[in-house]
Structure 1
Amino acid sequence: MPLPIVAWEELAHNYRGTILLGNGASIAVDRRFQYRSLLEHAREENLLPEDAQRLFDFFDTQDFELILRIVWQATNVNRSLQIPDEQTHAAYLRVRDCLIEAVRDVHPEYQEVREHLPHIHRFLREFNTVVSLNYDLIVYWATAYGLDIANRHSFKDCFVGGGLLHDDWRKLRRPIRGDLRTTLVFYPHGSLILCRNRVEQEQKIHNLDNGLLDAILQRWESEEVVPLFVCEGTAQQKINTIQGSYYLSTVYREVLASRQDNLTVYGWGFGEQDLHLLKRFAAAGIQRVAVSVYRGDQAYCRRVDEILHQGLGQNILVEFFDSESAGCWRYPAED
């Protein structure tokens, strides 16, 4: 018997807690995000030099961020000790330039997606917490869009004081300066807007104008920082990267497991490599989950229904809604 799939507006009043966004959300905005991985794109487009490929093979990873950070640290150590080593620095530059070119290929510019931002902003502000698994700038642009609107609602990514993570992120839920509500935004797998400096300090790259993508890539080219995001690899490889980052581990340990009774999932495929996140949500006391479904895919519904009941408990309520229905994500609400 088919599982019911309803319009988002039929469920929305029961789901105001946390929303988890997967890659399907980005694909709904721009089909260029449909690539399987940045590394695969680089290989298909012959962007990856042979020495860079050897690094990925040696460390048994598909994670650009990890390889770039390892080679960058080696370069900085050699420079600080005045050890001549042009080969390491040259390898770093080739990996970095490969990543920059791959990001430029697949990531849309602000002008190409801005028509969707008001609708995404309106949708996301209905939740207390936004958790985005995507490294791209869609969520950042959508939340920044609201800065120009007197809607008495604020989005906070919990980076304050020169772009550093606020240790007591829970305090930031309190509305200030006349706001009525606050939504906190987190990136469990990092984001293009996040970076590490030479002493492993994690920061947010600030630039609110339309040239944010260029500003990020220019910071990478400066050799002063490396990106902080993990979008590829096995579950264990992702967990290893998360544990090696103060920001990512804080989100993983504290935010995902914080008390909440409802969860909305939009555009997440529930892939094996990301189910470790579900284990963290299991500690949150979730009672009901709403999951988006693309074009009535019943096989997806049945698989997800089983995964959620196994992961969060047999007594939870699992409901499904049409991912293209009015009022959800980039789709305009009905007047």
Structure 2
Amino acid sequence: MMEFTDFDAALADWNELRTLTPYSGLLMGNGASLAVWKHFAYDSLFELAQTTRNKPLSPTELALFKAMETHNFEPVLSGLKTAIRVNAALTISSSSPRNRYFAIKEALIHGVRSVHIPWRLMEQKTLLAISQALSQYSTVYSTNYDLLAYWAAMHGQERFDDLFGADATFNLHHTNASATRLLYLHGGMHLVKNFDASARKLLSSESTLLGSFAVNALDDVPLFVCEGSSDEKLKVIRGSDYLSFCHTQLARHEGALCIFGHALGKQDRHLVDAICRAQPKHIALSILPRSESFIQHQKRHYSALFAQLDVELKFFNAKTHPLGSSGFSVPVDRLKV
């Protein structure tokens, strides 16, 4: 069990930490995406879908989310897809489920595209730097559903294995043991859920992948967990073979773990529980050096989360990690160019 002490505001340099301890795993949160694109700083995709200029969620669609007691899009879209099939089997002519399906996905598409960095603004040097940073680990666990990590992995394909086979389906029989495993704990924009709950990857080039997500096809239910409490997220995770596998892998992680850009708030309790089950001996956590009081608060927060573990916690300056480089940041005003 860890002992609580008075925390100072000192932060280690990541480059020094990694020379002392080999970190085999990286848990990557939204802070890594924010280092590239400030528009990723939104609080809720569900709220974005209600306020987007183009075809926002209507009261009728919102009633479906309320009835299913969720703010996640995947279970609502999957439920509507099931209703469409049931209607067809029973020769029920109602078009309401189909219309609601396309309307909800349309709002989701516009909400995501309103905050996602366009491909044309991504510089090759940034993708290469992110790719190199991720490839330093045996396994990368990402909770981000944006396309940054996927774009970076496509930039250095030989160094990564996302466990999707040549046919773009989740496949554990043809893995590359020498490559960095890239696991999306909460899914991603490039992943869709099939009717049988299996996962499939959208096959597109980097430049067209964001556009592929925007195709409002009936068969492509987006597979990502973006809202709700930890219990609600875990419920969605258990409904997918791929997400369940990724979550289990985090709970079985062996070796030291680096956590970058992740607040690990109440809604992420399932992640903390998984890490505690893995029982790592070393955890390094990134903290932005905003102020002394902020650093001390973050140290207390993380220490409380892992108080039950016999673990050595190290706190480092996020800006000293390759993923926190200020050189990654793309000015938002470039959208006008």
TM-score by length of 2: 0.87
How far 1:317 moved relative to its partner?
Answer: 0.8
1:179 corresponds to: none
How far 1:242 moved relative to its partner?
Answer: 0.8
2:286 corresponds to: 292
- Aligned partners of 2:311, 2:196: CA distance in 1, in Å? 44
Residue pair 1:3, 1:302 contacting (<8 A) in 2 also: no
How far 1:3 moved relative to its partner?
Answer: 4.5
- Which residue, out of 106, 110, 114, partners 1:105? 114
1:247 corresponds to: 242
2:47 corresponds to: 40
Q: Does the C-alpha gap of structure 1 residues 167 and 84 become closer, same or farther in structure 2, counting only changes over 3 Å?
A: same
1:119 corresponds to: 129
1:227 corresponds to: 222
1:308 corresponds to: 306
1:16 corresponds to: 23
1:211 corresponds to: 208
- Which residue, out of 32, 42, 58, partners 1:49? 58
Corresponding residue SS for 1:278: helix
Residue pair 1:119, 1:329 contacting (<8 A) in 2 also: no
Residue pair 1:157, 1:185 contacting (<8 A) in 2 also: yes
Q: Does the C-alpha gap of structure 1 residues 85 and 32 become closer, same or farther in structure 2, counting only changes over 3 Å?
A: same
Q: Which runs of 5+ in 2 are unaligned?
A: 1-6, 329-337
Partner AA of 2:103 in structure 1: R
How far 1:332 moved relative to its partner?
Answer: 6.2
1:273 and 2:267 aligned? yes
Q: Does the C-alpha gap of structure 1 residues 173 and 209 become closer, same or farther in structure 2, counting only changes over 3 Å?
A: closer
Partner AA of 2:271 in structure 1: L
Residue pair 1:189, 1:248 contacting (<8 A) in 2 also: yes
1:93 and 2:93 aligned? no
Q: Which runs of 5+ in 1 are unaligned?
A: 148-152, 176-181
How far 1:294 moved relative to its partner?
Answer: 1.1
1:6 corresponds to: 12
1:78 and 2:78 aligned? no
Provide, for residues 135-192 of structure 1, a one-character-per-residue CA deviation record: whole Å limited to 9, x for no partner: 1111001111114xxxxx5100011141122235xx73523xxxxxx10000111111
Residue pair 1:8, 1:328 contacting (<8 A) in 2 also: no
Partner AA of 2:126 in structure 1: H
Partner AA of 1:250 in structure 2: F
- Which residue, out of 146, 164, 167, partners 1:162? 167
1:64 corresponds to: 73
How far 1:259 moved relative to its partner?
Answer: 4.2
Partner AA of 1:285 in structure 2: Q
- Aligned partners of 2:87, 2:17: CA distance in 1, in Å? 57
- Aligned partners of 1:260, 1:69: CA distance in 2, in Å? 34
- Aligned partners of 1:166, 1:326: CA distance in 2, in Å? 32
Over aligned residues, Cα RMSD in angstroms?
A: 2.0
Residue pair 2:29, 2:262 contacting (<8 A) in 1 also: yes
Residue pair 1:261, 1:284 contacting (<8 A) in 2 also: no
- Aligned partners of 2:81, 2:176: CA distance in 1, in Å? 36
Provide, for residues 219-269 of structure 1, a one-character-per-residue CA deviation record: whole Å limited to 9, x for no partner: xx121221111111111111111111111111112x112241200001100
Q: Does the C-alpha gap of structure 1 residues 324 and 260 become closer, same or farther in structure 2, counting only changes over 3 Å?
A: same
- Which residue, out of 7, 25, 29, partners 2:36? 29
User: Which moved further from structure 2: 322-331 or 270-279?
Assistant: 322-331
Corresponding residue SS for 2:180: strand
- Aligned partners of 2:264, 2:305: CA distance in 1, in Å? 8
- Aligned partners of 1:30, 1:331: CA distance in 2, in Å? 11
Corresponding residue SS for 2:214: helix
Residue pair 1:29, 1:113 contacting (<8 A) in 2 also: no
Kindly tell me the number of residue pairs found equivalent between the two proteins.
Answer: 314
Residue correspondence of structure 1 range 313-332 to structure 2 within 5 A: 313=309, 315-325=310-320, 327-330=322-325
